Structure 1
Amino acid sequence: MKQNSKIWQKFDIFSLRLRLILGIALVSALGLGGLASWTSWKMQQILINSHKYNIAKIADRLPRDVLLYNEMMPIETSLQKAINNLTSKDTFLWVKGADHKIIAKSNNWHLLSDETASQLMSLTEMLVKPELGKVSQRYFILCSGTLPGNGKVLGKLFVVQDVTSEQIMFMAMVRSLAIASILVIIVICVVIAFYIQHSLQPLRQLNQMTAVISLSDLGQAQLYLKNAPTEVKELANTFNMMLSRLAQSWEQERQFVSNVSHELRTPLTIVNGYLQSVLRRQNNLNPHQLEALETASLETERTIRLLQDLLDLARADSGYLHLRKELCLLNDLVAEVVSMAEKYSGRVIKIESINREIEAIIDYNRLKQVLINLIDNAVKYSAADTPVIIKLNLQSEEVIIQVCDHGFGIPLQHQSRIFERFYRVDEARTSTTGGSGLGLSIVKTFVESMGGKVSVRSRLGEGSIFTISLPAAPLPIKV
């Protein structure tokens, strides 16, 4: 299946290379085919016209010779003598009277087969103008005319010339010319294919260079092709200007998000502090006021977390995300996170781990935030009576942490995008869950900043498994 896919890609009917090859092949076929056809037609005309001229000359001369000989001998003898004088190996003459009986003929009919001679002599009508005809698998130039004598018409003159050998040679030459034309077209297509492939190489290089440009490379990315055609160089320059504009736009957007997040977080923190202070003196509040202030406090805290997430992402984009990496015991970290999550959610959260200590060089607080986010998602999007399982294992030189639930699951078409910022799966993430769409983006950013990877495997109705892979701490060298 993969091999068929590669072949299909190689012969993509919409590719520029294939279109150019087919276009040149078509033009070559039409050009060479037209030239070969015109050459064949012209050669045939030259060959046939020379024979036509000889036949017409014989048909015109015979009556004069008959009249000349008739002055010295009887008409029948004069007619036969004139025919014999004009007869050659390939030229055949005969005269038919008014009753369509042959009254004179050339003496070389034995050179033809009986069938061919019979079919020729049975002809009663021929054009006055010499024309090419086929009789009994042989080719002849045919011509006829009236034969006058002594003031009356002696009969009808028929003159033919056998051009079979010339016609067969001509047809063989035409076949050779057609084969040569096809071979030339094939050679032209092969040469042009290699030439086009070489000519399109700069475009492929341009495609490869642009394919590897990431968001972090926008400011430094420059496309340069040394030996490319002028048009491709202009395209590369246009790409460079576009990348520069994109980098400027992205930097402005990142700076805006960072500034807004930083500026709004401080006043909201102050507001939340005042709200908490008022809530601590709740004895002076009626139930409606208490409910309103609690709602305001919760929304303020949610907004502060959102702004903190945006600020962390902006710092990560600009390369200023501060990590305090140190050697940590992951068994203790996972146990601490699970204990906090159980108290906060009231759910059963199980730990499945190998019976040994697992260490990694990580940022303790960042990985803690990552696990809290994943457990929070598992709790939100699974039924209350189902457990959430945290698995901690060591595989080769990697630490594997998995957060498993038996919840709603994530549709396959959304799984490749759930780590994008503000992306929400409508089927599972409703406004009642309170998600901002940044949690998984934060998870991916923090895990990758620590040199790890995060992935998801999910089925609808069966739940989801989020897997974090981190480099394991190197084993101590034994002395």
Structure 2
Amino acid sequence: MKPFAQLKERFHRIKQRHLDPASLQFRLTLEVSLLSILGLSSVAVWTSWKMQQLLITTHTQQVEYIANRFPRDVELYSGMLPVNAGLQKTIDNVSVPGLAIWFKNTDGTMILAKSSQTTAKLMSLGDMPLEPQVYQVGDRYMILYSGDVKTARNQPLGKVYMAQDVTTEQYQLITAIQGLTAVCILATLATILAIAIRIRHSLQPLQEMSRMAGTISAADLNNARLQLGNAPTEVKELAQAFNIMLSGLGDAWEQQRQFIGNISHELRTPLTVVSGYLQSLLRRSNNLNDYQREALETAGAEADRTVRLLQDLLDLARADSGYTRYHLEPLLLNDVVSEVVDMNAKFGERSIQITATENVEAIVDRERLKQVLINLLDNAIKYSTAAQPIDLIVERDEKQAIIRVRDRGIGIPLQDRGRIFERFYRVDADRARTTGGYGLGLAIVKTLVEGMGGKIMVRSTVGEGSEFTIVFQQ
């Protein structure tokens, strides 16, 4: 089930990234696709309209020819035959297959060339167009026309009506339009797919920059460079600016690291000497008044506190420069945890409860792990009251060795949890001032844990306490 869950989660991330309405890829794909749909739709509509007009033009030309010829033939035959006989003779002469013609005299008398059910429906219509047009009559398509017929003396004889059956041609046109529509839809889908793939390929350099920016660490600034071979010129220029920025940041970070390391090293020795002289002065001077003794004790405490700060900074500088050495070996975590708890019992009064259902082994550095646990316990003691116990839990989960440090103190607000491992970051500056913290303890913990190949996480609820979890691979 776990591989399926991972695959499902990966598919969800890909789907979310590709369908994100705010992403550049989604917007470009949508906009270009809409333009493509608009263009293909316009072509399809224009082609359909043109085909319809061609059909109408082809058939209406014949109807128009007959309509123009009809009055002349009537006039010709009327001179030789009675009017009705001349009209019938004219209708018979101009009739062609698929064309229905009938004539209404001024007195309402109707003369037909041929009769059908469709013709009967047409004759029941009131007015018909003066120009040939296509109409649907029942399930048939007809080109309808009506015109006045006059004698040679310009006397009205009546109206002639014509109906050209173009049903077969209209169905062929509809089938052609449907095929054209299907082709346009397929072409549109293929175009959208091609556009999406092309845009995604074009944006890969930007995604690569995003991935690098998200994974790069301070230690990688001098070595991390973005290499783009086939990217567009604009993206290459952006990548070049990105690399220049990384180089500048790397130089600045290196200068800062060297400065911190040098200043920590240079200041630690004289401050240690000052602290030693202050302590010696307090032990050997018996003629100091209370004010002088309090001043010396305060100066000594601040000197010791500053020395510890400089030592922490020096440890971090060594870790950043890669000078920290780890003596990794298989150890029972239960023994290391017990040793740290025993040390705390000698110098502190807090109750620390160890919970371990089995012996758990991991490859770690004993002294570094002890430093990590001491810092975490010190943090738990600072931010919880004396009546609240602290739990140290050692357990195994599949192939992972886990140590949990749990307190029931004030907890960490949600907005601060993502930053507590940053250097000099303190959740409550006022409280940190009273507890003597500089915001380096958890930063050192994270650096040491990751240096031993592990990882550290935190869960916390305000008012209920915090739990720091250290995970090592066995």
Same fold by TM-score greater than 0.5: yes
Q: Which one of the candidate residues 248, 251, 265 is aligned to 1:248?
A: 251
User: What is the deviation of 1:244?
Assistant: 0.5
Alignment pair present for 1:321 and 2:324 = yes
Amino acid at match of 2:112: K
Whole-angstrom distance in 2 between the partners of 1:283 and 1:25? 90
Whole-angstrom distance in 1 between the partners of 2:361 and 2:126? 112
Residue pair 1:282, 1:290 contacting (<8 A) in 2 also = no
Alignment pair present for 1:160 and 2:163 = yes
1:244-292 per-residue CA deviation (whole Å, 9 max, x = no partner) reads 0110111122122223323333443343334324323553232233223
> Taking structure 1 as reference, are residues 242 and 156 closer, same or farther at Cα in structure 2, changes over 3 Å only?
same
Show the 5 A alignment for 1:135-214: 135-149=137-151, 151=153, 152-214=155-217
> Taking structure 1 as reference, are residues 311 and 230 closer, same or farther at Cα in structure 2, changes over 3 Å only?
same
> Taking structure 1 as reference, are residues 84 and 424 closer, same or farther at Cα in structure 2, changes over 3 Å only?
same
Match of 1:54? 62
Alignment pair present for 1:239 and 2:242 = yes
1:5-28 per-residue CA deviation (whole Å, 9 max, x = no partner) reads 344345333444443443343233
Amino acid at match of 2:131: K
Residue pair 1:345, 1:379 contacting (<8 A) in 2 also = no
Q: Which one of the candidate residues 127, 131, 134 is aligned to 1:132?
A: 134
> Taking structure 1 as reference, are residues 89 and 434 closer, same or farther at Cα in structure 2, changes over 3 Å only?
same
User: What is the deviation of 1:339?
Assistant: 4.9
Higher mean C-alpha deviation, range 16-25 or range 313-322: 16-25
Q: Secondary structure at the match of 2:157?
A: strand
Alignment pair present for 1:95 and 2:74 = no
1:392-449 per-residue CA deviation (whole Å, 9 max, x = no partner) reads 6799998765544443334455444322212222399543222111112222323444
1:146-171 per-residue CA deviation (whole Å, 9 max, x = no partner) reads 21125221122222322222222212
Whole-angstrom distance in 1 between the partners of 2:446 and 2:208? 31
* Structure 2: stretches of 5+ with no match in the other structure: none
Residue pair 2:411, 2:466 contacting (<8 A) in 1 also = yes
Whole-angstrom distance in 2 between the partners of 1:141 and 1:328? 98
Whole-angstrom distance in 2 between the partners of 1:16 and 1:310? 43
Amino acid at match of 2:144: L
Match of 2:122? 120
Residue pair 2:354, 2:391 contacting (<8 A) in 1 also = yes
Match of 1:29? 37
Match of 1:477? none
Amino acid at match of 2:99: T
Q: Which one of the candidate residues 273, 277, 280 is aligned to 2:276?
A: 273
> Taking structure 1 as reference, are residues 456 and 133 closer, same or farther at Cα in structure 2, changes over 3 Å only?
closer
1:202-228 per-residue CA deviation (whole Å, 9 max, x = no partner) reads 444444444442221111112213344
RMSD: 3.6
Show the 5 A alignment for 1:402-417: 403-411=405-413, 414-417=416-419
Match of 1:384? 386
Residue pair 2:395, 2:401 contacting (<8 A) in 1 also = yes
Match of 1:19? 27
Whole-angstrom distance in 2 between the partners of 1:315 and 1:410? 29
Residue pair 1:141, 1:163 contacting (<8 A) in 2 also = yes
> Taking structure 1 as reference, are residues 357 and 96 closer, same or farther at Cα in structure 2, changes over 3 Å only?
closer
Q: Which one of the candidate residues 441, 453, 457 is aligned to 1:439?
A: 441
Whole-angstrom distance in 1 between the partners of 2:361 and 2:345? 23
> Taking structure 1 as reference, are residues 157 and 467 closer, same or farther at Cα in structure 2, changes over 3 Å only?
closer
User: What is the deviation of 1:465?
Assistant: 4.3
> Taking structure 1 as reference, are residues 209 and 82 closer, same or farther at Cα in structure 2, changes over 3 Å only?
same
Amino acid at match of 1:12: D
Whole-angstrom distance in 2 between the partners of 1:394 and 1:68? 114
Whole-angstrom distance in 2 between the partners of 1:167 and 1:357? 84
Alignment pair present for 1:292 and 2:299 = no
Q: Which one of the candidate residues 73, 76, 87 is aligned to 1:65?
A: 73
Q: Secondary structure at the match of 2:428?
A: coil
Whole-angstrom distance in 1 between the partners of 2:284 and 2:325? 38
Residue pair 1:408, 1:428 contacting (<8 A) in 2 also = no
Residue pair 2:360, 2:396 contacting (<8 A) in 1 also = no
User: What is the deviation of 1:306?
Assistant: 0.9
Match of 2:12? 5
Amino acid at match of 2:146: S
User: What is the deviation of 1:76?
Assistant: 2.4
Identity among equivalent pairs (%): 51
Amino acid at match of 1:157: V
> Taking structure 1 as reference, are residues 338 and 428 closer, same or farther at Cα in structure 2, changes over 3 Å only?
farther
Residue pair 2:327, 2:364 contacting (<8 A) in 1 also = no
Amino acid at match of 1:46: L
Q: Secondary structure at the match of 2:149?
A: strand
Match of 1:476? none
1:276-328 per-residue CA deviation (whole Å, 9 max, x = no partner) reads 24323553232233223322221221122112211221121112235677999
* Matched residue count: 465
Alignment pair present for 1:425 and 2:427 = yes
Whole-angstrom distance in 1 between the partners of 2:89 and 2:217? 101
